[in-house]
Structure 1
Amino acid sequence: MYDPSKLSELIRFARVDAGSTVIDVYPGDGAWTRLFSDIVGAEGRVFSFVPAEVAHFKNDPVGRMRTLAMEPGRENTEAVSADLVAMPEVTQQADVLWMHLFYHDLHTALMQAKGATAAHFNRAVHERLKPGGYYVIVDHAATAGLGTGDAQSLHRIEPAFVREEVEAAGFVLDAESALLARSDDPHSIKVFDPSIKGETDRFAYRFVKR
């Protein structure tokens, strides 16, 4: 997780407010799901969505999110799982769909094993968001011009390529942030390498459904 000032700025950037309905895609350890649950309050709703493509992982991502949803005060939170592109079938119309350090995985063999593509998923997101809803993506940046070339090997993706793909699904870029940019990241190292883990150059886009 980020330091408090960056965290606050990211929340403002994502436009998550009291009463919002939020879909947290592939929630990891649940830190963002918990944070969104606290923010949206009793009138809001948070769907912690674990794609079925990763549900078999040894850390039991679905079970972890179900346990989280049972914590005291988490009545506004629901853990759900389905094939990636079936996300609209297990969630409700949302104000915000949040994807943190996961978009690049849409271009890996694991996520495409059942035939889903980033284009399929982006259309599913467009279907599930309310008019005026926000699709927020934060990810590890790849070298300009590489597109998805490093998605499988380094877990990075070129920001401009992400924008092109998402806009092709009918979204409009509403804002971008350099809050997490790092000029000292050579972009040639895997994001899990100890020398750079947690300190990668990251981009943030907020798209809107008109």
Structure 2
Amino acid sequence: MKKLYSAILASTLVLGLSATSAVAHEHADHTTEDKIKAAMQADIRSDAEKERDRNRRPVETLAFFGLEHDMKIVELLPGGGWYTKLLVPTVAEHGEYYAAIGTGTVKRTLGGEPGFESMNIVAEDAELWREDGSRFYSMKLNSLGVSDVDMVLTFRNYHNFAEDGRAAMNKAAFEALKSGGIYAVVDHTARHMEPLNDSNRRRFDPVKAILEIQAAGFVLVDYSPIHYREDDELEYEVGTKSVRGNSDRWTLKFVKP
């Protein structure tokens, strides 16, 4: 009877700890989601930026990648700062945000804004250029200048680079991440193995992207159909009227072993 009582007590403790852990994890997820949603409503975002929320679905996208508000993260090539305005406030209190490569716009427009004091700019020495006759950028950089990172994210940038530029970006992301860290990549979809033409120059073959990123040492762990668009026939340039803002995009999650 004593042994039976001890077994029941042990089982109860395990179940209790599991339930507590589940509740804590649920609370953490809820907190992160709340922070993202609050950032989405901030005055610093323009009406045009908020209009894109419906299509870009940042809450669902960042949840798929596993973003938590206490992570140390790097955003590659932040461009005009659409995602920067969501990521910085989300991790400002308990995490760290770094913008890397092509950071001129966000440094100029967000660097002095309230709430963005915690934004870090790194890899400012990265060199970007286009070879004569090339449509795509090459890149040279020693490192991102930050290590032990939980997540590296890049949105609709992969297609902008020539093969050497993509390899440099993937290598830098791999070196910056800690073991188990996540590489989150989104881009416009091109048909598999379709020759380059004027219509697909801002699209990228997801199979080719997977192979290249795996070659850099990453493991593909998941993909999401969140940005699949059945009515994008992958025929037209992503800036054309019939496709703009509604392109089919691949959403891939990799991990550093």
Aligned to 2:196: 149
1:19 counterpart residue number: 70
For 2:21, the equivalent position in structure 1 comes to none
- Deviations along 1:160-183, one digit per CA (max 9) or x if unpaired, are 110000001110011100110012
Indicate the RMSD between aligned Cα atoms, in angstroms.
Answer: 2.3
1:33 has 2:84 as partner: yes
- Counterpart of 1:180? 227
The residue number in structure 2 matching 1:106 is: 161
Bigger CA drift: 116-125 or 178-187?
Answer: 116-125
CA contact (8 A) 2:159 2:204 kept: yes
Is the CA contact (8 Å cut-off) linking 1:140 and 1:202 kept in structure 2? yes
Shift of 1:65: 2.5
Letter paired with 1:124: A
Report which structure shows greater RCO (CA 8 Å, sep ≥6).
Answer: 1
Q: 2:182 is matched with which residue: 115, 126, 134?
A: 134
5+ residue gaps, structure 1: 52-60
| 8 Å contact from structure 1 (residues 48, 77) kept in 2 | yes
Return the index of the structure with the highest Cα Rg: 2
Q: 2:83 aligns to what SS in structure 1?
A: helix
| Aligned residues of 1:66 and 1:78 also touching (Cα < 8 A) | no
- Please say if residues 143 and 187 of structure 1, whose CA atoms lie closer than 8 Å, have aligned partners that are also in contact: yes
Residue 133 of structure 2 is matched in structure 1 by none
Q: What does residue 95 of structure 1 align with?
A: 150
Q: Indicate how the Cα distance of structure 1 residues 145 and 63 shifts in structure 2: closer, same or farther if over 3 A, else same.
A: closer
**Aligned position for 2:33:** none
Equivalent position of 1:82 in the other structure: 125
Q: 1:159 aligns with which of 194, 200, 206?
A: 206
Q: How far apart are 1:66 and its partner, in Å?
A: 3.7
The structure in which a higher percent of residues are helix is 2
From the superposition, tell whether residues 33 and 204 of structure 1 become closer, same or farther in structure 2 (CA, over 3 Å): same
Percent of residue pairs bearing the same amino acid type:
28
Match of 2:132 in 1: none
Segments of 5+ residues of structure 2 without an aligned counterpart are: 1-51, 127-138
Partner Cα separation in structure 2 for residue 6 and residue 16 of structure 1:
14
Query: What TM-score results when the alignment is normalised by the length of structure 1?
Result: 0.82
1:165-203 deviation per Cα after TM superposition (whole angstroms, max 9, x unaligned): 000111001110011001211212111112211111111
**After superposition, what is the alpha-carbon deviation per residue over 1:96-152, rounded to whole angstroms, capped at 9, x for unaligned?**
111100011122xxxx7xxx4322321221111111111111100001222x73599
Cα shift at 1:95: 1.0
Query: TM (normalized to structure 2)?
Result: 0.68
